Structure 1
Amino acid sequence: MLKGSDDISNFEIVMTRMEGQTLKYFAALVNADKVDGFTISGKGTLNGNGLRYWKSFWLRRQFNPRCTNMDEMRPRVLYVSNSKNVQVSGIRLINSPFWTSHYYKCENLKLLNLYIYAPFAPVKAPSSDAVDLDACKNVLIKNCYMSVNDDAVALKGGKGPNADKDSVNGGNYNIIIEDNTYGFCHSALTCGSESIHNRNIIFRRSKVEDAKRLLHLKMRPDTPQLYEYILIEDITGYATNMLDINPWTQFFDLKGESGIKMSYASNITMRNLTLNCDIVFNVKKSDQYKLSAFTFDNLIIKAIKDSTVHKDYIENFVLNNVVINDKKL
């Protein structure tokens, strides 16, 4: 086991990447930059030792509810950047003070047979995302267990009204996420909150045990976003919301510009799902974004609270063999 210090002064301040920005922040417990072929494997554990950080974060939120994630100084467990042919396999990553594993501008990345955990009780581990992909391409996440007090897999890449014009940012392309199990998490797969372009994403053959959302598209009105060609298939289990698409305005900042930045989600397919949910279609209609070319195919859903699907919210919305509470739509 490699166990991190719970004293933030033991972590160097470096130029790094956090929350869609390139800036000075604390190094992670393990860091690799421009290391092609970087590999961690075996049966060991990276332990972030996060309890003291979590308690400090929630204490700060009591007297300053508007404090950001980065205001309370916390390190990540693993950060890999600007590297090709990276593989992390077989290990445990637990108790992260902040994001658990973060990959920035990595190409040909494999995450295999990992156990990633941070608690949601008795002390919640805030923003302990299991995997953050930040402007990465050609990624395989396979045979992993993820249970954290935030998103399991989050696709990031930049934020702000001109994020798509800044070379430090980027999209996520050609991502396969398969054969995984999800314990408690805020979302099994999230696009956002700092994200500009995600394309060719496959999420399949997995079990969700206690996810607040299966698929979450965060539509940020201060950032131009495009989420396209996302396939969710062969999923079983329970998620509070099957699909969640809503405006995301946390720490909203147009940086002096007027008007909103339009966002788009298109060619989103959900098929071969057998799920129990509270809410099937938690989607808000908004002039801040456009939704088009969605397909629901072969879904068998038990909805506890809300079974409504608003077909008119999405342009070119195809439903084929969708059964909710034993009724075919």
Structure 2
Amino acid sequence: MKQILALFLILAFFYTANAQEYDITKFGVKNDSTILQTKAIQKIIDKVFAKGGGTIVVPKGTYLSGALFFKKKTSLVLRDGAVLKGSDEIKDYPFIPSRMEGQSLKYYAALVNAYQVDGFSISGPGAIDGNGLKFWKGFWAHREAMKKIGKESTNLEVSRPRLIFIWGSNGVNIQNVKLRNAGFWTTHLYQCNDVLIEKVDIRSPFKPVKAPSTDGIDIDVCKRVMVRNCYISVNDDAIVIKGGKGPTAHKLPQNGIVEDVLIENCTFGQAHATLTLGSESIHAKNITMRNCVVNNTCPILKFKMRGDTFQLFENITVDNITGSSGAVIDLNPWSQFFNLAGSAEKPFGIIKNITISNIKVTGTKFGEMQGNPSDQLSNFTFKNIDVTTAKPVLINKYSDVKFENVVVNGKPLEVTK
């Protein structure tokens, strides 16, 4: 993995080096957070593309915009004190072919969009702010209205934009930028290879209004992704491995594997889970999270085992995690929006070659490993674990689970079915 990651870092530098800069305020854009300036900023992006490429620079100030579409050989820099602020009107985000929740469909554009832009980069130290409060309130109001009439509300029923969506792009580099208050997911990478996300600060609130489904980083059908030295605290999962869902998802060309992901030296604040696999994932391989600090009450590693989707999770490593957390492991059935779509298939999951090692945390509980009845698990190892918790028991129904030097509250771990 080290050789692969070193190669993509060289490629990312090659893609982005020596780009001419274009300060948006020198082309008619005003430092005014009350004026929608989507057309003026897009005009600059289009001009830079027509000239052969360059870097769009947002200087200090706040600039209100709807969806922006970056073109080949263009990139984005936000200077210190700069804020690219998203419109809170959904009409400012076109309804176009997209990808959401493991499905290829039409959906609203993100604030920042890049499609087939190899070498695309976003850098700070400024901020991209989704201004999501109005979208969050709308989501909760709709969910409450549906609840009153006995119906479920899905995430897609209330229209709201993601903060960043990058599709079909290689050599992507997101560094030293603040990402705030997304209306929906914060950073969505789809069909991208050789991605570096470094020194990025990602946040959305839990109060006074919860920011629903504001995942920190969604990695969807991607290979060779590095996330390092980041801070993530969002009102959903911090880092999510995706790739498709449904009984025939593994047969569809728009879905696929997430492979060779390295997450290291990151700090995780409150979230729903630190690293999640499964809500819309068919195959994940060679996923490593290491040398990270957790300051939350959510699971460190969460497997969402869908009974309506064939899933394969293999070669997953979680190593050297310290701090305070929820469960060390949460491996349970996931039934949200279950839909066999009339298929006669009987999906099941395979989990193999998983290692959780060198963990020293104060947690809410040790965890659960239940899964669906047909799921298969093999070669799952806990090694050098030291947990302090009021719920010291691991609930586990699988036989091929190994324990080496696993201590809870100063005593050997108790395992029960």
Q: Give a deviation string over 1:76-121, Cα, whole Å, max 9, x none.
A: 0000010110000000000001000000010000000000000011
How many residues in Structure 1 have an aligned counterpart in Structure 2? 327
Matched, 1:39 2:124: no
Q: Give a deviation string over 1:277-299, Cα, whole Å, max 9, x none.
A: 12112222541311211000000
Structure 1 or 2, whichever has the larger Rg, is: 2
SS of residue in 1 equivalent to 2:335: coil
**Hey, which of these two has a bigger chunk of strand by percent?**
1
CA distance in 2 between partners of 1:83 and 1:315 (Å): 42
Q: 1:122 aligns with which of 203, 208, 212?
A: 208
The within-5 A match list for 1:58-69 is: 58-65=140-147, 66-69=152-155
Distance 1:173 1:285, change over 3 A: closer
SS of residue in 2 equivalent to 1:170: coil
CA distance in 1 between partners of 2:287 and 2:153 (Å): 33
Q: Give a deviation string over 1:178-207, Cα, whole Å, max 9, x none.
A: 000001100100002000000000000001
Q: Which residue of 2 aligns with 1:309?
A: 394
Structure 2 alignment gaps of length 5 or more: 1-82
Q: Which residue of 1 aligns with 2:236?
A: 150
Aligned 8 A contact 1:188 1:211 in 2: no
CA distance in 2 between partners of 1:160 and 1:241 (Å): 27
Aligned 8 A contact 1:293 1:315 in 2: no
Matched, 1:238 2:324: yes
Matched, 1:196 2:287: no
CA distance in 2 between partners of 1:59 and 1:91 (Å): 32
Q: 1:220 aligns with which of 291, 294, 306?
A: 306
The within-5 A match list for 1:291-306 is: 291-304=377-390, 306=391
Q: 1:86 aligns with which of 172, 180, 186?
A: 172
SS of residue in 1 equivalent to 2:232: strand
Structure 1 alignment gaps of length 5 or more: none
**Over the residues paired in the alignment, what is the CA RMSD in angstroms?**
1.0
Matched, 1:252 2:338: yes
Q: Give a deviation string over 1:291-314, Cα, whole Å, max 9, x none.
A: 21100000001121x211245x22
CA distance in 1 between partners of 2:246 and 2:320 (Å): 35
Aligned 8 A contact 1:89 1:111 in 2: yes
Matched, 1:12 2:98: no
SS of residue in 1 equivalent to 2:327: strand
Q: Give a deviation string over 1:143-181, Cα, whole Å, max 9, x none.
A: 000000000000000011010110100110000000000
CA distance in 2 between partners of 1:298 and 1:220 (Å): 30
SS of residue in 2 equivalent to 1:193: coil
Counterpart amino acid of residue 308 in structure 1 = V
Q: Which residue of 2 aligns with 1:161?
A: 247
Counterpart amino acid of residue 261 in structure 1 = P
Counterpart amino acid of residue 394 in structure 2 = V
Matched, 1:100 2:186: yes
Aligned 8 A contact 1:108 1:138 in 2: yes
Q: Which residue of 2 aligns with 1:325?
A: 409
Q: Which residue of 1 aligns with 2:105?
A: 23
CA distance in 1 between partners of 2:345 and 2:116 (Å): 38
Which runs of structure 1 show a deviation greater than 4 angstroms over 4 or more consecutive aligned residues? Answer: none
CA distance in 1 between partners of 2:371 and 2:195 (Å): 36
CA distance in 1 between partners of 2:303 and 2:412 (Å): 26
Aligned 8 A contact 1:294 1:314 in 2: no
